[in-house]
Structure 1
Amino acid sequence: MAKPTKSDLKKMTYQELQQHEADLQLIKQELRHEALMATKRDVMQLIKESGFELEELGLAPEKSERKRTRAKADSAPKFRHPENPALTWSGRGPRPKWLKEALEAGKSIDDFAI
């Protein structure tokens, strides 16, 4: 895949650049997550082969840490503002103001799904 040149990027509109930036952020997040999971698998395999337990190595998370880890994993963005891709919502917690206003204006929540 060819890397866009500076002149290619300058030909884009502001909105296209924003969408391009949002797409790049999403791809970066996905690649980071994949690398993290691969590293975790490798480390867990090494620990398993060593014969030690996580607790012995001081690597077992506290109960409160486990809950936070799970909650963060489930909070990936599921909705995005159409004009400002930096504004996202995971679907958890209160709806953000921009989404409430759009829904009150007659938009469907599906219009914002990622």
Structure 2
Amino acid sequence: MSAKKADLLRQAQELEKQIEEAKKAERSAVIVKIRQMLADNGLTVADLASVKTGKTGAGAGSKVAPKYQDPNSGATWSGRGLKPKWVQAALAAGKSLDDLKV
């Protein structure tokens, strides 16, 4: 290995080390800031864990009643999303969705 290449690899390792140290320092600062915000607002980590995110409005995250049932296994499907394999197999065998209705 040439001396130039070895020097560049050493520099790269040193830069990686500096990047990791910077990430740790930044993360620590963010944690301190979040803890202060929690304390200022009278919140705990448990309060954060209890908050559901991503779904809003009436019925968000509610389950839909099954519309179809596998007569062999009893597995159900609401009719939403991808068809389960048992539905695909039944359709391929010549059955219709009406045959699988609950």
Query: TM over 0.5, yes or no?
Result: no
Name the TM-score, length of structure 1 as normaliser: 0.40
Higher radius of gyration, 1 or 2: 2
Q: Which has the higher contact order (CA 8 A, sep 6+)?
A: 1
